Amino acid sequence: APVPYPDPLEPKREVCELNPNCDELADHIGFQEA
C-alpha cells in the first residue's frame, strides 16, 4: 500500500522485493508495509 508521505526507502523496498534474502530481512526490521 502506498504510504501517505514521500518514502525515501521506497526504491530500496522495490529492490528488496526482488531479493528473497533482503525481503526476509526487511520483514524483520519493518521495511515492509504489507
Is 3 part of any domain? no
What are the binding residues for Ca(2+)?
A: 10, 14, 17, 23
Is 15 part of any domain? yes
pLDDT score at 3: 55
Is 27 part of any domain? yes
Is 2 part of any domain? no
User: Does position 1 have pLDDT exceeding 60, yes or no?
Assistant: no
Is 1 part of any domain? no
pLDDT score at 4: 63
CA distances from 26 to 5, 10, 33 (A): 19, 12, 10
Burial class (CB in 10 A: 0-12, 13-18, 19+), 29: exposed
Cβ within 8 Å of residue 12, ≥6 positions away: 31
What are the binding residues?
A: 10, 14, 17, 23
Is 16 part of any domain? yes
Domain range enclosing 28: 8-33
pLDDT score at 19: 75
Number of domains present in the structure of the chain: 1
- How does pLDDT run across 4-31, given as a tens digit for each residue? 666 666 777 677 667 777 667 667 666 5
pLDDT confidence bin for 34, thresholds 50/70/90? very low
